[in-house]
Amino acid sequence: MKDILTAPFVREMGETTANMYRLGWDERNGGNISYMLDKDEAAEYLDLGRVLRTIPTGFDAAPLAGRLFIVTGTGKYFKNVQKDPETNLGVIRIAQDGTTAELLWGYADGGRFTSELPAHLMSHMARLSVDPENRVVMHSHPTHTLAMNYVHELDERKFTHTLWEMCTECIVVFPDGVGVLPWMLCGTNAIGQATAEKMKEYRLVIWGMHGIYGAGRTMDETFGLIETVEKAAQIYMLTCGRPRLNTIRDDQLRELAEAFGVDYRRDFLDPERGQAKAGQQAANQQG
Ligand code: 2HA
Ligand code: ZN
């Protein structure tokens, strides 16, 4: 058996949580990550026949029975994952009943998985139903994205459109747009179900006045999605409240999406709106 501390999936969890902490996105115990593991790869590091404890999940994840996940622990700080993975992370397997997690490694201080496990596992189920290669679900509190929640309408079409306008790459990176949920109580099955419903359509979901969820096939893809939204939100927050002299027009967004061959949310582009903005810019420039 190889040393699990050298496993690529443990290393990736450590590196990603450290990056997110240093970017200021995950203060204290903010944020959580779940990463579905390949059974054969996990078996190189773990005895899959040895269950350390079982922990009820409080909801039914039967479609994930037998699947393995490495998951950040509840109350644990992203700041500390890399220096003590065995306390801050756990590897769980969803038992055949769908409502029990079998702990195979980690949570060494008697802890358990993140309180947001419902949102994570329900999002995994939703993403897998549309993309069988999805592996990662990530939740974070990126500063500018959160700031933008307070000054921008929480409407998914308008929110996505504004982000797309902020950096040329945005429509190429997340052509499917950003889903938006209103403020809801976190840590519940209800917010889990609402997130999963959005995840059937979007790889990114804003939790109003709380943070963001991302989903993807790899850690890099998922991190990159959130990172790109956060960059766009930062540009928005640096420029909002000032006269806007220039923008990326809708016809240019369309040109980008078509040049890169991405399947974008056409209904999130609005030529009339784009022209109205361009007209206003011209007026601003003259004024
Ligand atoms: O786990 O971010 O949403 C801490 C959180 C809860
Ligand atoms: Zn949170």
Owner of token pair 């006269």: 243
Q: What is the pLDDT of residue 278?
A: 52
Q: How far is Cα 164 from Cα 65, in angstroms, rounded to an integer? A: 38
Is beta strand 211-216 parallel, antiparallel or unpaired with respect to 204-207? antiparallel
pLDDT of 57? 97
Evaluate the CA torsion angle 248, 253, 255, 257 in order and state its sign: positive
* Number of helices (H), then strands (E), in the chain: 12, 9
Pocket test for ligand 1, best of 28, 116, 205 (most atoms within 8 A of CB): 116
Angle between helices 271-286 and 250-259 (to 10 degrees): 130
Amino acid at 213: Y
The span from the CA of 78 to the CA of 25, in Å, is 10
Closest ligand 1 atom to residue 186 Cα is 3
87 touches 73 (CB < 8 A): yes
Q: Which residues are catalytic?
A: 116
Distance, CA 70 to ligand 2 centroid (Å)? 18
CA distance to 88, 92, 93, 237, 242, per residue, from 80 (Å): 7, 20, 24, 30, 40
CA distance 100 to 93: 8
pLDDT tens readout for residues 54-80:
999 999 999 999 999 999 999 999 999
Q: Which of 261, 174, 171, 278 lies closest to 226 in space, CA to CA?
A: 174
Mean pLDDT of 20-43: 98
Q: Is the pLDDT of residue 274 over 70?
A: no
- Mean pLDDT for the chain? 95
Pairing of strands 53-56, 32-37: unpaired
Measured CA to CA, the distance from residue 133 to residue 16 in angstroms comes to: 20
Which residue is closest in CA terms to ligand 1's atom 3?
Answer: 186
| 3 state SS of 205 | strand
Residue spans of alpha helices (H) in the chain: 8-22, 39-43, 78-81, 85-88, 117-130, 143-151, 156-166, 170-173, 189-199, 219-239, 250-259, 271-286
75 CA: nearest ligand 1 atom: 1
Residue matched to tokens 């990159």: 224
C-beta separation of 96 from 65 below 8 A: yes
pLDDT at 25 over 80: yes
Q: Which one of the ligands is nearest to 116 CA? A: 1
Q: What is the pTM of this model?
A: 0.94
pLDDT band at 122 (very low <50, low <70, confident <90, very high): very high
